[in-house]
Structure formats: C-alpha cells, structure tokens
Chain A
C-alpha cells in the first residue's frame, strides 16, 4: 500500500487536495475498501428491489389465483402474463430468481460485501484491505454476476425455474421445464462468477483480520462484528468451492452428456443415455454449501446487532467470550448438519438420525446468543435509534424463526412439514428477516461513516415499524398454511379442497407483503436523499467505542490522517463504573489500576 502510507503524514483535507484521482479510479475501479463497500451496498439495493417486485408478482397470483393484474402485465408483458395472469412457468421462475437474488446477491454479497469491506480496516485499525486490487476484483465479479443474473431474465424460455436449489434432473433437462435451457446456463455462469467474487472477498477478509490489526488489537479485543465476519469468511472459503464443483458438474451434465446426477430417465417420449449418476449427489454437494450459507447470511447480521445493541443500550455486550464461543460453535456445527435438508430423499434413516442430533445441537449456541442479547438489554439505558430498533427486531425474528427450526430438525416431524409453507415461514423469518434486519441496522448505524451524513430518523422509525409488523404479518400465517399441508412452489391451491380452509390467509399475507414493500420505498428514498441532502454527520454520532469513529468524517485513503490508532481495551466499555462519560473508546489507555473488564 505505497500510496496509502505516503498519505499517512497528511491531514484529511490536504490529502484530498493533493491526491489527483481520476473519476474512474475514484468511483469505478476503486481500490479503497470504503468505496468498494458502498458499491456492494448500492448494487445489493438494486438487486433487492428486483427480488421484491418478483415476490409481489407471485404473491398476487397466490392471493387471487387466475386473476389478471395490470401490475403483472406491466413487468412481464404479454408473453409471461397474458392479460395480467401469471404464467405457471414464470411463477416458478420468479420464486427461483427471487430466492437466488435474496440469498446470494442481497444477503451474502450485499451484507458481507458491504460491512466486511467497510468495517474490517476501520474497526481493526488498518489502512486498507490486505489486497485492494483483489478486493476491487471481488466487487467487479459480483457486479458481473449480477448483470448475468439479470440478463437471464430476458432469454427465450425464461430464467432458471427449478427453485433456488436447482435440483437436477429438473435443472439439467430443458425438456422438463423451459427455464432449464439458456436461463439455467446463465444462472450457472452467474453463480460461478459470484463464487469467484465471494472467494476473493473472503480470502481478503481473513487475511486482513489475521494480519493487519493495529497495535493492541488482540483477537480478544475485536468487536463482535469482526468475529462474525471472520467466521463468515472462513465458512465461505470452505463451502463455496463445493458449490462451484456442484455447479460445474451440473454444467457438464447439461452440456457434455456426462451422468453425474442423471440416471434412468425417460422424458419427452425418449429414454436418455445417462446411467449411473445420482440426483442425491447434487443435493449433498449443494447443501454442503447451502447450510453453512445460512450462517454466512446470518452471522454478519448477528455481529452487527451485537455491536449496535451494546452501543445503544449503553451497556457492554453480555458474555463477550460466550458470544465468540457461540459464533465458533455455530460455524463448526454448520458444516455437519446439511443432511437435515435431505431426510426424505431416501437417505439411510440412520444417517438422518445423526443429522437430527447435530442440527439440534445448534440450538444451544443460538439460545445462548438470545439470552445474552436479553441480558444486555436488561437494566440498560436504551436509545432507540433506527439501527437499535432493527437490532431488537432481529432478536425477535431470530427467536420466532429459530424455534420452528427445532420442529423441522426433528426428522419424524419433518416428514409432514418438509417442503411445505411451514419451511417457507421458518427460513424467511430466521434467515431472511433476521439478516435483512441486521443489514438495515448496519446501514442506519454506519451511514454517517459511509456518506458523512445522517439518515432521517423519523423516516427510519416509520420504515422500521411498518417493516416489522409486515414481516410477521407476512410470514407468521405461513406456518398455519404449512401445517395444513400446503406445499411450497405451487402455482395455485385451488385444485385441492383440503387447503380451502386456510387459503384466505394468502390474501392477508399478500396485503402485508404489499404494505411491507411500500415501506421499502421510504427506506430507499431516505437512503438516496440522505446521501446528498442529509444533515452533516459529526465524527462519533452514536458515542461509540470502536475505532471506525476515530477516523475523520471525510473519507481519505488510509483512513487515519496521522499514525494508526493504538488500542488499549475491548470495545464494550459502556457505562463503566468510575468513568465520567458512559463510553470509553478503545484508544483510551487503561487508567491506573483499571481492570480491562
């Protein structure tokens, strides 16, 4: 980082004047971690809107099956929504791409990409990431993969339609569903680029966290965001390559006539040549990534909220070491539970038992986390910033969704609720809502750090309360639809009399979904408006202890104008007895006789 060390001696605005950066190197091919973080965020917001609109399109169909909507016709045209009625294949395509975008592009790329890039150097006291260039590549691979994914929406036959898990043979055979043609090829290309991006990012995060911590920043003095991101990156590095291999083998099966996943198939009046493969192999490979992926999505959100809850409760996070321990335990266990997605694939029932055991073990560190959050709030001094509201919202969704996970992990019970709306409700609450709440919390909290301006608080309140109510309004009733036996990924339920009793819930769900989507207009407006017109931020608006708030508001290369800060304490000295202020930044040396914590 020659360029950045050269800056070290200058003051913030001096550096700004002296350093001649072209538009391209500053805004587009930037090596600066703060800019890259913001690029990830804005891309993710765009992708999230695409996925939200998709969800509205299929929610309309589910609430009022077979009815025409100008809204659907406006987005899908006469081919996929003739007279506004959604086409069944397009329905499957929409749920597939909605899931893919939300899981990978918003909650993996968007969440980790934004906050790992923004926070790692700032919270650890580094000038930049270990490799700025690889970091830049990571974003541009992500961007490219987003573009390819969006392009796949426009191909003949439609985008991939076999569910976000793309189980073969459905995803391997264009004869089985039109979306498995060019759309699926682009899906695989996009995912390959995405995985490359994720690996480059992840290696960089791990290298930076392990090597570039400033003086005094011991591992046990790192904010919990850093622990969460470190584990997230490790999980990603270990599991994404497996998805890559799964995707490549699928590509071979699709294009070169290999038989990794295909065997004994007779389709469209023709017996295929493939012999000896197994569709179950794909599921093992997919879920070997897929389950850690849940925690790749969730852990950064949990790290962010730990930080925000502690700051805004003006109280140290309760059980710092237990929190680290539970992050490590969740990370480790997440690699040996993937089979719980496959209890009913014909897998050996004994193997199923093992996965029941390991899966239910995860409930222990999760419970510890919840109790620690509760104790952190207990006798705290809570300031309700929008970030704090979303963090408390995360705890609520983490409880509600985590508990139903116990039902699903119990294989005997899974027999009846597997692949029903019960599952949809469970993972949307525990993974989708929790992670997106963590992401919103992070955005509200670190917006001043990203853009040097403040977001509007009142709009933040409106955004939170509407979103919070709608989150439960949308996903809570789905448990009941699922218990009635309604399978997921059904275009409509009118063919089965047995579901008539719960179908009015679908209307309720859709109404909440529409209102919830409107609330995101408030957020988007607040975000972009505040970026340019929001009130100017001060250096440490939330009176926080962590290092990022010791950097100047105006962004500079190298983050700190002078020498790097030195760390003397953990980041959670809030309301420490004997201190005048209710916070003590990490850069303040321990006073005579003071114990660390």
Chain B
C-alpha cells in the first residue's frame, strides 16, 4: 500500500511538472520567444541569486563553525597532537583567506556583469604580469605550508627513543588486543602459523612451537585414522587427504620455524628475540602512562585495519605480513580529561579506520592514560600474568624429543 502511494505521488509529481512545462512552452511560443534567448529578467534573477547564494553559503559556513566549534575536533591529548593542531590552525587561516577571497570575487563578478545588449565585454585575452603574480604568490604560500608541514611530519615520524614504553596493538576482525613486553621490556617474535585459541597473537617460544606441532600432529593422526579405519564416500576421502596434505605442509613450515628459532638462540643466546616472548602479556586492557613516550607496534592477523586514536591525533595502518609503528606521548590522563569534559564516563578510544568487514563500525578498544605511578602499579600487576607461566616451560621442553621423532616421520613422508 505504502509503495503504491509513493509511486502515485511520484507519477503525479512528474505529470505536474510535465503540464507546467507544456504551459510554459506554449506561452513562450505565442510570445515568439526562442528557448536559447535568455530574457533580461531571467538573467537578472540568476545574477541576484548568485549574490544571495554567496551570502547563504557564508552564513551556512559560519553557522556550522559556531554550532560545532566544540563538538568537532576533540581536545588534543598528545604532545604532537597539540603541534599538529597548531599546524592545522595555521593552514585554516591561509585557506580561509583564499576561500573568502575567491568566492566573493566569483559570486560578485557573476552577479555584477550580467548581460546587457548595449555593453561589450572587456577584451582581455591575457595579462602576463597578473598571471605571473598569481602563480608566484600561491607558490610562495605553498612553500611555507610545505616547510612547516614537513618539519612537523619529520618530528612525528622520527624513530622512538630507547626509553619509550612499547605496546603492541594487534588487529583482527573485529577487535583489538594489546601485548606488553613483560619484565624484559622486549616483545617476543611472532609467527601467524602458531595462532591458536591459547596463542591468539602467534607468539613464538619453544613451548608454543612444540604445542602447535603436537596439536597438529594429533589432528593429522586423527585424519589418517579416519581414512584408514572407516568406509567413506570418495569425496570425503579426498577431502580428508587434501586436508592432511595441507596439514603436513604446515607442520613442515613450523619445523622450519623451529630450526630458525634454534639457530637464532644459538647465535644470540639470551638476547634472542625468540626467548623474549614467554613473559609477554596478552591483554584486552590498554593502559599508557602520561607524559612518557610510547612506541605503538601495530600488526594485523587477517585484513587491513587502521589504528586510530582521534584524541591522540594518532593513526597507522595495520598490515598483514608487516609491522608498522607509531610514536607518541600522551599528555592528559583519562581522569584529567574526564574532569575537563565534565563527563565521568569518558574514555579515550582506539578505533579501526580501514574498512575491514561487516563489524568494522564497532571494532574498538578503550584506552586508559594514567599517571606514571598508577601505570607502574598496574604494570607490576600485569606482568604476573605472562603469556607462558614459568612452571609450564620445563614441561614443554620435556615434550620436545617426542615431537621431534614424530616430525621427522612427517618430513620423511614429504
């Protein structure tokens, strides 16, 4: 019924326009007016509308600025954010001057020089002096914009200092996970092939490699068993065989990873990045200390995401197969910001700013910025929950020989 009504209104509307046009055309034919002859009245009307539009345009702009002044750009809560806000203001001033100047000229000229059959246009095909002026002036202004902008950019993208707090932000469809380096201050190596329910970030340690191999071998054995001991349709058998084949390839790769790991440990000893992972902490809590440089290390598990902290003026893509970083210094604690905004529920928020799938619009994690002392207390508590509890490690080592013999068998099959 609703559809019918909408359709009816549309059809009637079109018919109404059609009739109006018809009446207009017949009347102008009676007056002997040709369609391409624009009457002085029409010209004047459009000229006036040009002026009116200019006024309404600037009015609309002002209304938006006044009404949304405090609602648009949030308060900058990072050191470089304050700087880029100044850069932004500087740019705005230049742009506003250009905006007002060019628009006023455009609409003023359009409204003023309306057609008059007794007048002729001014013959002026070119004027080299004028053209030189308005090539050089924008060039000079742009030079300033470029130098100021690049200066800021270089500062922001300079490498983080050694004192920076390191945090990894790990993206996947559709949530964020944080990883802190634990007691040693070093984030351990990762590999996407080790990702599992208990190792969501794929941290590489001797134990996690062994556990992953053991689990895969168990699955492989199950598959082989199913094929060997059951009567199955051919399609199911080939499906299982293909699955087993994939798994064997996978196992071979993890074994390769283990060799790389062992070599690295042999060369670097205790400094090996493969030994740094077991005390890492994987958490859904994202805390940062105030007034301390922070190095965010950003990774993705599946598709592109983007780490975006609007209050911190911080953004960097999360790219699968690649590690990206962003350095910043938060300057306002969550509590101070709550007081400033008079909003006790306020939280800084980390959101995803690169289209990543159906729940892209709700991929978020709150960020809490605390004082240095609170952060230390929180961190001391955090490191008590490392990725691998210390007592599990020997157990994993004990599994090692058994796993090796199994995997050699697998290698032999390949």
Contacts and interface: CB of A to CB of B under 8 A. Distances in A.
Sort A-B residue pairs by CB-CB distance and give the 5 closest, nearest first.
A263-B321, A485-B310, A501-B71, A349-B157, A346-B324
B46 A361 contact: no
A106 interface: no
Nearest to A418: B315
A535 B25 contact: yes
B125 A406 contact: no
B71 A472 contact: no
Interface stretch (A25-33, A118-126, A319-327): A319-327
A279 interface: yes
A313 to B, nearest CB: 6
Interface stretch (B220-228, B354-362, B388-396): B354-362
Interface stretch (A50-58, A144-152, A197-205, A486-494): A486-494
Interface stretch (B53-61, B279-287, B406-414): B53-61
Contacts of B35: 454-457, 534-535, 541
A353 interface: yes
B275 interface: no
A538 B36 CA distance: 9
Contacts of A153: none
A177 B313 CA distance: 29
Given A273-B249, A279-B321, A364-B138, A382 B113 contact: yes
Nearest to B115: A383
B18 A344 contact: no
Given A384-B38, A491-B360, A407 B24 contact: no
Interface in B213-271: 246, 249-250
Interface residues of B, number: 121
A378 B109 contact: yes
Interface string B309-339: 0100111110111111100000000000000
Contact of B154 (A319, A345, A353, A418): A353
Contact of B17 (A371, A459, A497): A459
B303 A525 contact: no
B204 interface: no
Contacts of A315: 121-124
Contact of A74 (B3, B102, B110, B131): B3
17 contacts: A92-B358, A167-B304, A271-B195, A318-B126, A319-B127, A349-B154, A360-B142, A381-B115, A383-B43, A392-B50, A396-B106, A413-B91, A415-B314, A457-B42, A461-B42, A485-B310, A521-B13
B98 interface: yes
B165 interface: no
B193 interface: yes
Interface stretch (A296-304, A434-442, A475-483, A585-593): A475-483
Interface stretch (B144-152, B180-188, B372-380, B397-405): B144-152
B349 A496 contact: yes
Given A413-B91, A415-B156, A472-B60, 5 more contacts: A170-B355, A263-B320, A265-B301, A373-B106, A415-B314
Contacts of A483: 72-73
Range of interface residues on A (Cβ < 8 Å): 35 or more
Interface stretch (A36-44, A206-214, A572-580): A572-580
A407 B91 contact: yes
A70 B353 CA distance: 31
Contact of A384 (B46, B88, B138): B46
A60 interface: no
Given A399-B99, A456-B35, A457-B38, A505 B321 contact: no
A485 B74 contact: yes
B355 A169 contact: no
A420 interface: yes
Contact of B72 (A267, A484, A495): A484
A364 B364 contact: no
A495 to B, nearest CB: 5
B116 interface: yes
A318 B125 contact: yes
